[in-house]
Each structure stands twice: as structure tokens, then as C-alpha cells.
Amino acid sequence: MSNERDSKAAAGGWAALVAVGRALRREGTLTAGRALLHTNQPDGFDCPGCAWPDPRHTSSFEFCENGAKAVAWEATDRTIDAAFFARHTVSELRQQSDHWLEAQGRLTQPLRYNRASDRYEPIAWDEAFALIASQLRALPSPDAAAFYTSGRTSNEAAFLYQLMIREFGTNNMPDCSNLCHEASSIGLPQSIGVGKGTVTLADFDCTGAVFSFGHNPGTNHPRMLATLQAVARRGKPIVVFNPMRERGLERFRSPKEPAAMLTGASTELATHYFQPRIGSDPLVLQGLMKRLLELDREAGGQLLDHEFITTHTNGYALLREQLESLDWPALCSGSGLSMDEFTTAAEVYLGADSVIAAYGMGITQHRHGTGNVQQIANLLLLGGHIGRPGAGICPVRGHSNVQGDRTMGINERPPADFLDRLEQATGIRAPRESGCTVVECIERMLAGQIRVLISMGGNFAVAAPDPEATHAALGRLDLLVGIHTKLNRSHLLHRGESLILPCLARSDRDVQAGGEQFVTVEDSMSMVHASRGFRKPVSPQLLSEPAIVAGIAQALLPGSPLRWAWLVEDYDRIRELIAEVVPGFGQFNERVRSPGGFHLRNAAAHREWQTVTGRACFIPFAGSLEQAPAAYPLRLTTVRSHDQYNTTIYGHDDRYRGIRGRRDVLFISARDLETLGLAAGTRVDVIAAAGGRERRLPGLELVEYAIAPGSLAAYYPEAMPLISLEAHDPTSRTPAYKSTWVRLTPSASADLAPAGP
Ligand SMILES: Nc1nc2c(c(=O)[nH]1)N[C@H]1C(S)=C(S)[C@@H](COP(=O)(O)OP(=O)(O)OC[C@H]3O[C@@H](n4cnc5c(=O)[nH]c(N)nc54)[C@H](O)[C@@H]3O)O[C@H]1N2
Ligand SMILES: Nc1nc2c(c(=O)[nH]1)N[C@H]1C(S)=C(S)[C@@H](COP(=O)(O)OP(=O)(O)OC[C@H]3O[C@@H](n4cnc5c(=O)[nH]c(N)nc54)[C@H](O)[C@@H]3O)O[C@H]1N2
Ligand SMILES: [Mo]
């Protein structure tokens, strides 16, 4: 039985509707309001908010509070034009907050930086393309350029972009995935042969239990709350492992249910909420698996799926050996969980006939991110919970098309067979050497090896770790190009040439020579569907992302075997190429026109293991966990507030965590406050020993919070100066944004606080 009860504190509810109204008022109600009605509809556009799938794309209000904020922010009536840039020098703009920069509105025309005036000034599109082409051609090698992608880019734009980059001659395609789920993309293929999630929404409809690790759906994928609510209402357990108490994992009231809204009834979500220490997930997962093995042995081997283990996997003996060698006191003290808690979690797992494990950035953004992901796969394999109904692994993706961009070949380490097919279908020659991830890209920019950076969306300067290193790296470039919808810090840190190229957004109508176009995206569960903008572009000078790629390609690659302009006249032509190159996209144009789109087959979900051994692999955790350096006993994680989208700061509240009008806070447990002799409300400096020296973040205010002892949390990106470039997972190069060893000291002066709203 799901436990309905009255609670003002549930996630969702009236406060969510009020927040939607506020976002709409702020951005100009009419267009943004109309945009909402088109969001995630069968003939509408895909919400740029998150990658959680939609149930059949049929309900009339398939958006959520944070989706509404994302749409309102994008479909705003505010614009910035040449007059704006004439008023502000780049030096002045650099002094503004990230919030202010984006809040000025949509970009409206291509711009080029003029060093003499320290201003961006209008440039014609053709001149911009010619400038890019001449700078790229002047490089000593194509590998002296890098091409960043953020995950809002459509399949069509991403496919053309990687095609142009490869024809030019490099695989330097760092992308936001490198900062996000790269540990899944690297770790899961080794475990189960596929780097994507194996479940669909239908699996949630019949699952026996959901295990959630390190993600915050109430804020970051709110449409998942309805999915979890349905699980809870079927009386199935939801087991959470998260150092912080997150409201959205505890209770939910759906704004789509009038009766619940009126009576205030909400649904309890998590049946079990465990709060391990930050960074202790390997111990949590190993402890849980060790307990499973113990209970299974006590029951005469009846509890785990030994038949599955024997017929479908290898590595079990090695895993068992490792788990047996671990001792309980170390697992408990390291994770902060008690033996009873491990037993309870193991019993829930064993009591469920099918288990889904969902996880997010709390798992991937660690030095051992890949190992974490593989322990989750191990956990599922023990019970045979991959490749049958109601069971599987669910990496909750970030950006709405980050998964699709990878499918389309935005990949610095492309598989050889992808390149073979690409060459065959297009007549280009694709380079075979691996390119760079974001972290490697910054290293090479610092070393002067990468001289040009082109960004398709995103905010490289603020999303990447170590602002000192990243900003210095951007300052060394000969040319920086940003293809963006809004102004952000990445446009302001260059010392060489810089161009801003404004593009259409998801909600904008896209008309090419062949008429009105739609694009396609792939969600977290491998559903590919169409997205059609409806809004009149804010300026006639905006080009679509595919058109911008084609413009650069035509200037850069005069002898190209491809007819770039012809391809973008009608995106069906791009999709025909995709159908030839990308597995699973046969008859793309027909299939994507059926309502709701189509599902990409996932081999692991059918127990076909595309691993080296042809079986699913148990991969024991390799290496040891980092110990706290002397004098830096606390561990800091960085999280998103409820009022932000990555580097886009919509507002300064974090409603579910009780924060209003500010972001300069440090979440700390009551126990640590007591141990440190500090009171909530005190301002402290956070000091990290990172990259061989001390880094200091001054003036955060302590907020007492239900967070595991020894663990601290601050907001991303404010806490970024504490994170060094060296702090990353050596396997996937994902930055360790979620675990920095720190100490605290009371701030000498309160006015060191970072700027408020
Ligand atoms: N509204 C909104 N939606 C978004 C985004 C946004 O910024 N705003 N961003 C999008 C993107 S790109 C992404 S990747 C996703 C991100 O979605 P999430 O993965 O939910 O991202 P975070 O806010 O980083 O939250 C991480 C969660 O992990 C927990 N955590 C922190 N450290 C640890 C740890 O060591 N172990 C464990 N087990 N848990 C830990 C935190 O308490 C927090 O609950 O959301 C996407 N959707
Ligand atoms: N400390 C810390 N750092 C982190 C994280 C963390 O948890 N902690 N999370 C990491 C994660 S998971 C991610 S994914 C990255 C995010 O990194 P990015 O993807 O680089 O950053 P965003 O903030 O999503 O990008 C915002 C910009 O995208 C542009 N934009 C918006 N829509 C469109 C569009 O449709 N087309 C184009 N061309 N441009 C558009 C706008 O100009 C806007 O300024 O940050 C990472 N950084
Ligand atoms: Mo992400």
C-alpha cells in the first residue's frame, strides 16, 4: 500500500504551480505560456529541461515546474542586440554574475570581438564562416582545434557537426558527457556490453523495487516523480542512498491530480532512506553485495540467481573473493551505514522479484566514478536483474539530448565500425586517433597545443573544473567560437579572436529552403522522437545549428564530397545519411514520423552481451579509496539548486532545501557543527588541498542540514574554485566534482561573501 498522507512539505504541489507562474511572468507570459502547451506533445517540441522520457507523449501537460522554467528561460521575449554590446565593454560584462549575463535575453545577431573597442560588434554570417575557415586552415594540424558540444544539440545538428569535424581531420570532440555520465559510457560497456540504460518506463510499471543512488529527481528530473509515485502506489519499495535528505525523494504531490492538490494528499516515495558519507559509494555497494552473499549462503544458495550467474556472466568468483576479504567494521565506518542498515537493504533487494537501479551524478562524478557504476551493475547481476521485465539499470541522463549526441558520433573515442560506415556513406576519410575529453582539452589548451575552440552550446568556462586553469586555457586560444542562444561567461575570457554565433532554440520554428523542419532527440531510455519548434524566432538573423555547421563546412571544406547546403535544405536528407551510418536508425524518416517515435534496441536488455567475453562481467572494484589528507577531514560535494539549470541560474531559491534568496551556503550536519564548535549561520572559508596547493572559497554561511556527518555540500558552480583539474576519474576523465577534501575556518570578514542575487 502506498502511504498517502497530508503534508505541506511534499515535492510538487501548489508551490510548483506558483513557481511556474512566476517563471512565465518574468520572461513574458504569452509566448512562453504558449510554448508550454507545445512541450513534449506528439507534434510539439522536446522539453529542453531533462532527458526523462514521456509516457507516450499524449497527456496535455507533460511538463514539470523545472521544465517550465527551462522553456520560459529559452522562449523569453527579451533580446540583446548590437546596441547592447555597444553599451557594454567585454571587461564590464566580465564583472557581471552568470545569472545577469543570461538574464539579458536571447542573442540576435552574429558578433565579432573588436580588441580596439573591447566590444563585440556585428559581423555578417559569411564573414564569420570565412574567418573560422581561415583560422582552422592555418593550424599546424587539425588536432590543434577542439569542438565542444553540450547536450541540447539535436541528432541532426550533432551528426552534421561530427561529420564536418571528422572531414576536417580530428576526433577532438570534448562534450558535456565528459563531465556527466562518461563513467557510464566507459564502465557499462565493460560490464554489460552497452553504455546506456537497459530499462524503459514499462519496466517501472512492473518493477518489484527501485534502488536510487546519488540523484535528485525532485529538482533535476521532476517527471520521474510521477514514475516513482506509481511505484510507491503499487506498494513497491524505493530504497535511496544519498548523503543528503532530498525532499523530492521523500514525498510527492502531483500538480496533475486535482483531488490530491485540493486535499493536500501526498505520496511517500522512499520506503528506506540511507545517508552514507560522500564518496563512500564503493563501500556502500560492496557492503550491500557482501551482505547479499552472506544471506544467500545462509539460505543454501537459494536467494541469488545462480543460474543466471552461471549461464550469463563471468568474474563472479573474483567478485566473491574480493567481497569476502572485506571486513565489516571498515565497511561500516567508511560508509557511515550500520550493519542493520546493510541487512535491511539486502533484505529488500532479496524480497523483490525484479529490481531497477537508478543513479546520477552522485555516482559518476568521483575519482572512482567508473568503478561506482560497475558496482551498481554487479549488484544487479547478482540477482539476474538485467534483461527481464521490471529490472535493469537506469543511468539518469542530464541534458535532453546528451544520449542522442553520443549515438550520433559526438565521441572523442569513436568505435572503428562507426567510422567505417561513416566513410562508406559519405565519402570522407575519418581520422582514427582518439581525440580529447574536456579535461584533456583544457590540458592541451594550457600547453598551447589546442589553439581553436568551437562550442556548440554549453558554457565551457563555467561547467569545467578548476576555473583558474580553465580560464587561463581559454585565454591562450587564437580563436574562440560560441554557437549559443544566450550570452554566458564563455564569451568573455578570450584574448585572441572571438565570435558569438546566435542559433535557434528547441522551441523556435525552423524554416529552411525545403520548408518547415523538425529535429529529433533520444531520451534517457533510448526513445527517439521528433521535436518541432513553433515559436517565431526572436530575430531574422538566427540560423539553426545544422545551418551554422553547413556554413562553416562550406567555407572550410571546398573539396568536400558532401553537398552541405543541400543537406540542410531538408533535414530528411540528413536523416537519410544517419540511417546509413548509425545502427538502429534504418528507415529513420518513416519511423520517426509515427507518434511517440521509436525505441532503439538495447542488446543487454535482451541478454545479448556485446562484451569481449560475450558474457556480462562482474568487475570487482579496483584500487583503493582515497583517505582524507591530514588536516582536511571533511568531504565536500557540489550540487544543483532547484532554481538553476547547470550554469544557468534562474533564481536564488532552493525551495526543497529551505534556502531563500541566496546561493552562498554550505550544508553541514548538526553533528559536525557540534564537533567543530561552530553555529549555524556562521560564515566560514572552505579550504581544500587540491592540485598540490591550498585553494580557498571564502565566506559561505553554514546551514544545518540532514546530511551525513563528515560531508558538506555547496552549490555548483560557486564551489568550482576548490576543484582542481587533476581531480578526475583516470578511467573516464570525469571530474571529481562530488568529492573534495576540505577543512573549514571562520571567515575573517563577512564581506568576502560571493555576490548574492
Ligand atoms: N532543473 C534542472 N534539471 C536538470 C539539471 C539542472 O541543473 N537543473 N541538470 C541536468 C543535468 S546535465 C544532469 S547531469 C542531471 C543531474 O541530476 P543529478 O544527478 O540529480 O544532479 P546533482 O544536483 O548534481 O545531484 C546529485 C545528487 O547526488 C547526491 N550526492 C552528492 N554526492 C554524493 C555521493 O558521494 N554519493 C551519493 N550516493 N550521492 C551523492 C546529492 O546529495 C544530490 O542529491 O540533471 C539534469 N536536469
Ligand atoms: N562543480 C560541478 N560542476 C559541474 C557539475 C556538477 O555537478 N558540479 N555538473 C556537470 C554536468 S553533469 C554537466 S552536463 C555540465 C554542463 O555543462 P554545459 O552543457 O557546458 O553547460 P550548460 O549550463 O548546460 O550550458 C548553458 C548554455 O547553453 C546555451 N544553450 C542553451 N540552449 C541551447 C541550444 O538549444 N543551442 C545552443 N547552441 N546553445 C544553447 C546557452 O547559451 C547557455 O548559456 O556541467 C558540469 N559541471
Ligand atoms: Mo549533465
Ligand nearest to the CA of 150: 2
Last residue of a domain, one of 588, 616, 645: 588
- Tell me: do 330 and 420 sit in the same domain: no
* Pocket, ligand 1, Cβ cutoff 6 A: 49-50, 66, 180, 213-216, 219-221, 241-244, 246, 278-279, 281, 360-363, 398-399, 637, 639-640, 644-646, 738-739
CATH number of domain containing 686: 2.40.40.20
Handedness of CA 57, 61, 64, 69 (dihedral sign): positive
Atom of ligand 2 nearest to the CA of 646: 23
Total H helices, total E strands in the chain: 31, 32
Return d(Cα 642, Cα 647) in angstroms, integer: 13
CA of 27 to the centre of ligand 2 (A): 20
Report the CATH number that the domain containing residue 286 is assigned in CATH.
3.40.228.10
**Same domain for 285 and 420?**
no
Domain end, chosen from 374, 395, 416, is at 395
Q: Is 60 among the domain residues? A: no
Length of the chain: 757
Ligand sitting nearest the alpha carbon of 734:
2
The pocket of ion ligand 3, defined by CB under 5 A, consists of 180, 398
Inside any domain, residue 318: yes
Which of 20, 69, 361, 647 best tests ligand 1's pocket when mutated (most atoms within 8 Å of CB)?
A: 361
pLDDT at residue 255, rounded to an integer:
78
Q: What pLDDT, on the 0 to 100 scale, is given for residue 43? A: 73
244 and 283 belong to one structural domain? yes
The segments of the chain whose pLDDT lies below 50 read 1-8, 57-61, 750-757
CB atoms within 10 A of CB 208: 20
Asked if residue 316 belongs to a domain, the reply is yes
83 is written with which cell numbers?
A: 546596441
Predicted local distance difference test score (pLDDT) of residue 62: 55
Residues whose CB is less than 8 angstroms from the CB of residue 689 and which lie 6 or more positions away in sequence, other chains included: 629, 631, 632, 695, 741
Kindly give the distance from the C-alpha atom of residue 87 to the centroid of ligand 2, in angstroms, as a whole number. 27
Q: pLDDT at position 499, please?
A: 98
Q: Given the CA of residue 277, which atom of ligand 1 is nearest to it?
A: 35
Co-location of 688 and 730 in the same domain: yes
pLDDT of residue 67: 85
CB 402 within 8 A of CB 180: yes
* Cα 581 to Cα 583: distance, rounded to the nearest angstrom: 7
Ligand closest to Cα of 715 equals: 2
pLDDT at 63: 62
Looking at residue 7, its pLDDT comes to 40
How many domains is the chain built from?
3
Is residue 206 within 8 Å of residue 391, measured between CB atoms?
no
Angstrom CA distances, 508 to 35, 496, 518, 540, stand at 9, 32, 10, 12
C-alpha span between 158 and 407 (Å, rounded): 9
- Residue 460 is part of a domain; what is its CATH number? 3.40.50.740
Instruction: Report the Cα–Cα distance between both ends of the chain, in Å, rounded.
Output: 44
Q: Is 363 found in the same domain as 448?
A: no
- Tell me, yes or no, whether 45 lies in a domain: no
Task: Identify whether 555 is part of a domain.
Answer: yes
749 CA distance to ligand 1 centroid (A)? 31
Verify that 567 and 444 share a domain, yes or no.
yes
Q: Which of 363, 395, 427 is the last residue of a domain?
A: 395
Residue 28 near residue 285, CB atoms below 8 Å: no
Residue with the smallest CA separation from ligand 1 atom 32 is 362
pLDDT at position 5 is 42
Name the residue with the closest Cα to ligand 1, atom 4.
220
Ligand 2 mean position to 485 CA, how many Å?
12
Could you tell me if 336 and 710 are in contact, meaning their C-beta atoms sit under 8 angstroms apart? yes
In a domain, 334, yes or no: yes
Q: Which ligand is closest in space to the CA of residue 736?
A: 2
Half-sphere exposure of 234 (CA within 13 A, CB side): 17
> Facing residues of 357 across strands?
211, 393
Q: Ligand 2: residues whose CB is within 6 Å? A: 102, 150, 152, 176, 179-180, 361, 365, 398-399, 456-460, 463, 483-486, 488, 503, 505-506, 545, 638, 646-648, 716-717, 720, 723, 737
Which numbered atom of ligand 1 lies nearest the CA of 642?
1
175, 363, 639: residue to mutate for ligand 1 pocket, most atoms within 8 A of CB: 639
pLDDT for res 337:
98
| Contact present, 523 and 199 (Cβ < 8 Å) | no
DSSP per residue, 295-343: HHHHTTS-SS-HHHHHHHEE-HHHHHHHHHHS-HHHHHHHH---HHHHH
Q: What is the pLDDT of residue 420?
A: 98
DSSP 86-123: HHS-HHHHHTS-HHHHHHT-EE-S-EEEETTTTEEEE-
* Residue 633 CB-density burial (10 A; 0-12 exposed, 13-18 middle, 19+ buried): middle
Would 15 be classed as within a structural domain?
Answer: no
634-639 vs 711-715, strand pairing mode: parallel
Q: Give dist(CA 217, CA 222) in Å, integer.
A: 5
β strands within 192-317, DSSP E: 209-213, 238-241, 251-253, 265-268, 272-274, 313-314
The answer to the question of residue 603 being in a domain is: no
- Collapsed DSSP state (helix, strand, coil) of residue 271: coil
Q: Which domain covers residue 726, as residue numbers?
A: 634-746
Q: Give the number of the ligand closest to the Cα of residue 51.
A: 1
pLDDT given at position 388 = 97
Residue with cell 510539439: 44
